[in-house]
Structure 1
Amino acid sequence: MSATRRHILASTGASLAGIAFTGAFSELFAGTAAATPPGGPAGHTGRAGYGPLIPDPDGLLDLPRGFRYKVLSREGDPLRSGEGTVPGNHDGMTALVGRRGRVHLVRNHENRATASNGVPTVEGLTYDPVARGGCTALELDGRNNVLAERVALAGTAVNCAGGPTPWNTWLTCEETDDKAGTNGYTKDHGFIFEVDPADPHRTGAVPLTAMGRFPHEAIAVDPRSGIVYETEDAFTKPFGLFYRFLPEKPLGGTGSLRAGGTLEAMRVPGVPDLSVVQEPGTCFERVEWVPVPDPLARRTPIRLQDFGPKGITHAQKLEGCYWGGSSVYFVSSFASAEDGSAADHYGQVWRYEPHKRRLTLVVAFGPASDIRLPGESPDNICLAPSGGLMVCEDGDGAQHVYGLTRRGEVYAMARNAHNIGTDAEPEYGEFAGVTFSPDGRTMYVNCYEPGTTFAVTGPWH
């Protein structure tokens, strides 16, 4: 949760009328299935979306006709494990394959030290007992019945996003770089932790320190090489960096990342700030990777460290990160010159091709972007099994999950109907953690506040 593109648009007086995005929009879907996954929904019918959203009589989630939802878990309810209550601030999430057709959902809780409903501490799964963030895990059967729900990681801070690994675990990211003694913490924070939702004690509460200490947002793993790409979400200057981690034991399975490796930051020669690049299709052929001097940021945050006379490349609000085809994609949600960026923009999507060391700006948003377009601070993004994207909106007013087709058409998939404000001044929690079941038949998504996890089923195209 942070300042949004809507806020930037309002402060600069930019128009909110008319959808405007440019670039190779189809690039967003590289690597998505052209056909239906085994056991998944029918192929795409050619029409965008599923029709208008129908108001939910229970006031929770509006969906198109023919779709239905099930509430899997809600903040404040008892955890089925008996370890306490379901924590709040539901954020990033993934769905992993379980045995005998079961699904493991692992879910972040973006709690700070002052959170009233934090993740319960559990012996063997707690890093810093003062911290209130972490992860919980749900085990579901083939009909989305909850079989188990328990703490998977506790004592971490501000767990925002992350990403799945090829060996069926979740890497959860702390979006803070608070050190021990700050906010009462007893240990340094700003790390990535590995979580095995099927057996959390197998991964425990061990920070992957070699992967760096900084305000992490998301990761993506190259399934061929095992290299992990990482985004740093920094709203104020100095802005974040884009990293890659070269593990000593690539693709070694659960626990292999603990063996260490080398953390590097991306340098685009001659480009100290990615916001100056405004034209989609602009590419840089000789991207460099520079070793991080002190990955633990013992004295100086990484983004302020000395990377030599050539410097390093920064970008404001680096958030989403995912692997598609043979490339990694990452998102800069917006940039504002008032905040110190070299130029303004309203959202960028970048593609890095490791085999060519080439970086390309593939999509740019705004400034006349429609407020309904999923450039309104797209927080969590996932590739849909039968093609296209699902995007969680994080802004003001009504909150949606939007779908984007390969043809660039935008449609509303879900709307949060739970008013946490008043009738006169309604307010709705953001969506987060959108992901699909391994068979493609269910979309799982979180409402951040009050923390709620939904399973959505229906006539998927």
Structure 2
Amino acid sequence: MSVTRRSLLAAGGIAFTGALGALFTGRAGAARATRGYGPLLPDPRGLLDLPAGFSYRVLSRAGDPLRSGEGPVPANCDGMAAFAAGDGGGDGDGGDGDGGVRLVRNHENRTTAALRVPAVPGLTYDPAALGGCTVLELDRAGRVTAERVALAGTAVNCAGGRTPWNTWLSCEETEDRAGTSGYTRDHGFVFEVDPADPHRSGAVPLTAMGRFAHEAVAVDPERGVVYETEDAFVQPFGLFYRFLPRRPLGGPGSLRAGGTLEALRVPGVPDLSAVDEIGARFPARWVPVPDPGAASVPVRLQDFGPGGITHAQKLEGCYWGDGGVHFVSSYARGSEGSAADHHGQVWFYDPRSGLLRLDVLFGPATDVQLPGDSPDNICLAPGGGLMVCEDGGGAQYVFGVTRGGEVYPVARNAEDIGAAGAPEWGEFAGVTFSPDGRTLYVNAYTPGTTFAVTGPWH
């Protein structure tokens, strides 16, 4: 049964439809946790509203000078991950290093970006492209000690994912070719970034992982399989992929050795938006992609043989946890060609059973003027539970979800970037926790701002 978000807010909270026990660490059906941290309090600085007892620090702001002297901090802060300072490029063992943290942060710059990622020799793929990644280094006290370019000359770097060997996979959300928009090289690839030493990874496209509008990735730490989402909001909609590396779990640079790219087929389900039953399970089939490089035909338009392939609108967040991969369809709209309407789904694929399961459904009986629509970047909280970045209309929130399925606000973007009389707030992106679980890092996409949030996390 679906309920309206307005009625739930009137009752003092909001909730997803369905049971979420399988999403989180701990046993399914665990007792319902205390909901959240209380109401959000207005920030006197007008940047970030948080619950009582929580505070934030602005780590980086678009337009300020990079500490490296390479130029200004780039705009459009998006996907992000946190690494212990002792880790990177396989030279760590998952420990806390010296207690510091490295944050690797994407910049989703298109050709119109006012603040590009500075082109740095040895780290630049296409000098005409304005996107890429930067790395912030924090000391034990959480103070920024360094900030530098880690990847440049890439385009529309949206999200990505971390590897088991402590590198970051940065994804280009575009299919533009050389000669388009002034680009000198083809785009639509994944790039590996070593936060500890970006020059060690360079700017090498992982072409075997496909050329399409990448959103996010998640790596199976036991099998080495890489799962990838494709963000396409107009028809034909995107696909969900898995990449079988030739050298699984081979460490830094091993993905350059190539492998096999496959796309998800759910027999009898050509569009995931048609599924609205929480807990529904389907056998997953994996079909080889005929031409991963999309030399003449975009991957999602290629001929996958009898049975076709399964599409979904706005495939975005993707993360590994609980023995499988969780991925998000941010929304679906029948008016734009989807089989049905919803305001967000979270799916779970279990590689052990080969089954795909719908775990979370937003709407369609929801009021999109109120918080909670269009989930985007997501991560697991250290103590269990889910953190969700909202990318919808109106106010923009980071939400938490308890093991019992209750949703609560964690942060609200308080900086109004709209015109007079027409308030507007930028989306959140890149939510991630420090290795010790004590600090939440998150980006306000516009204006590009990176926050560190501390407080009495459960």
Same fold (TM over 0.5): yes
1:160 corresponds to which of 135, 158, 161: 158
The C-alpha deviation readout for 1:199-235, integer Å capped at 9, x for no partner, is 0001000000000000001111001000000000110
- Tell me the amino acid that sits aligned with residue 6 of structure 2: A
For residues 18 and 26 of structure 1, what CA distance do their matches in structure 2 show? 23
- Superposed, 1:413-432 pairs within 5 Å as 413-432=410-429
**Structure 1 contact 18–369 (Cα < 8 Å) conserved:** no
Match of 1:325 in 2: 322
- Tell me the amino acid that sits aligned with residue 377 of structure 1: S
For residues 343 and 215 of structure 1, what CA distance do their matches in structure 2 show? 23
1:62 aligns with 2:42: no
For residues 416 and 352 of structure 1, what CA distance do their matches in structure 2 show? 32
1:28 aligns with 2:23: yes
Match of 2:109 in 1: 111
**Structure 2 contact 155–172 (Cα < 8 Å) conserved:** yes
For residues 91 and 183 of structure 1, what CA distance do their matches in structure 2 show? 22
Partner SS for 1:210: helix
Match of 1:17 in 2: 6
For residues 344 and 428 of structure 1, what CA distance do their matches in structure 2 show? 25
Partner SS for 1:22: coil
Match of 2:403 in 1: 406
**Structure 2 contact 106–133 (Cα < 8 Å) conserved:** yes
For residues 75 and 450 of structure 2, what CA distance do their matches in structure 1 show? 11
**Structure 2 contact 107–133 (Cα < 8 Å) conserved:** yes
1:84 corresponds to which of 71, 77, 85: 71
Match of 2:342 in 1: 345
Moved more, 341-350 or 305-314: 341-350
- Tell me the amino acid that sits aligned with residue 385 of structure 1: P
For residues 378 and 435 of structure 1, what CA distance do their matches in structure 2 show? 15
Match of 1:8 in 2: none
For residues 329 and 45 of structure 1, what CA distance do their matches in structure 2 show? 22
For residues 441 and 248 of structure 1, what CA distance do their matches in structure 2 show? 37
The C-alpha deviation readout for 1:134-178, integer Å capped at 9, x for no partner, is 000001111111111000000000011111111111101101111
Match of 2:216 in 1: 218
1:131 corresponds to which of 126, 129, 132: 129
Match of 2:358 in 1: 361
Cα distance change, pair 240–446 in 1 and its aligned pair in 2 (3 A): same
2:263 corresponds to which of 265, 284, 291: 265
Q: CA deviation at 1:102?
A: 1.4
Cα distance change, pair 114–314 in 1 and its aligned pair in 2 (3 A): same
For residues 301 and 460 of structure 1, what CA distance do their matches in structure 2 show? 44
1:314 aligns with 2:311: yes
- Tell me the amino acid that sits aligned with residue 17 of structure 1: R
Cα distance change, pair 371–407 in 1 and its aligned pair in 2 (3 A): farther
Q: Name the TM-score, length of structure 2 as normaliser.
A: 0.92
**Structure 1 contact 273–315 (Cα < 8 Å) conserved:** yes
Partner SS for 2:208: helix
For residues 272 and 286 of structure 2, what CA distance do their matches in structure 1 show? 15
- Tell me the amino acid that sits aligned with residue 188 of structure 1: D
1:395 aligns with 2:382: no
For residues 162 and 44 of structure 2, what CA distance do their matches in structure 1 show? 35
Measured on the aligned residues, the alpha-carbon RMSD in Å equals 2.1
Match of 2:332 in 1: 335
Moved more, 441-450 or 49-58: 49-58
1:276 aligns with 2:274: yes
- Tell me the amino acid that sits aligned with residue 89 of structure 1: N
For residues 372 and 210 of structure 1, what CA distance do their matches in structure 2 show? 41
Q: CA deviation at 1:324?
A: 1.4
For residues 407 and 197 of structure 2, what CA distance do their matches in structure 1 show? 39
For residues 366 and 101 of structure 1, what CA distance do their matches in structure 2 show? 42
Cα distance change, pair 31–120 in 1 and its aligned pair in 2 (3 A): farther
Q: CA deviation at 1:46?
A: 4.3
- Tell me the amino acid that sits aligned with residue 297 of structure 1: A
The C-alpha deviation readout for 1:212-266, integer Å capped at 9, x for no partner, is 0000011110010000000001101111111000001111111110111000011
How many pairs does the alignment contain?
439
- Tell me the amino acid that sits aligned with residue 108 of structure 2: E
Q: Runs of 5+ in structure 1 lacking a partner?
A: 1-13, 36-43
For residues 193 and 26 of structure 2, what CA distance do their matches in structure 1 show? 26
**Structure 1 contact 347–375 (Cα < 8 Å) conserved:** no
**Structure 2 contact 107–117 (Cα < 8 Å) conserved:** yes
Match of 2:12 in 1: none
**Structure 1 contact 32–324 (Cα < 8 Å) conserved:** no
For residues 360 and 169 of structure 2, what CA distance do their matches in structure 1 show? 27
Moved more, 326-335 or 142-151: 326-335
For residues 344 and 51 of structure 1, what CA distance do their matches in structure 2 show? 31
Partner SS for 1:319: strand
Cα distance change, pair 89–33 in 1 and its aligned pair in 2 (3 A): farther
The C-alpha deviation readout for 1:256-301, integer Å capped at 9, x for no partner, is 101110000111122211122221222123x211111100001000
Q: Runs of 5+ in structure 2 lacking a partner?
A: 9-14, 87-97
- Tell me the amino acid that sits aligned with residue 18 of structure 1: S
The C-alpha deviation readout for 1:47-95, integer Å capped at 9, x for no partner, is 2211222211111111111111111110001100010010000000000
1:94 aligns with 2:81: yes
Match of 2:226 in 1: 228
Q: CA deviation at 1:339?
A: 1.1
For residues 32 and 438 of structure 1, what CA distance do their matches in structure 2 show? 23
**Structure 2 contact 132–151 (Cα < 8 Å) conserved:** yes
For residues 196 and 69 of structure 2, what CA distance do their matches in structure 1 show? 17
The C-alpha deviation readout for 1:168-194, integer Å capped at 9, x for no partner, is 111011011111111111111000000
**Structure 1 contact 93–106 (Cα < 8 Å) conserved:** yes
**Structure 1 contact 32–384 (Cα < 8 Å) conserved:** no
Q: CA deviation at 1:451?
A: 0.5
For residues 28 and 138 of structure 2, what CA distance do their matches in structure 1 show? 25
Cα distance change, pair 45–237 in 1 and its aligned pair in 2 (3 A): closer
Match of 1:10 in 2: none
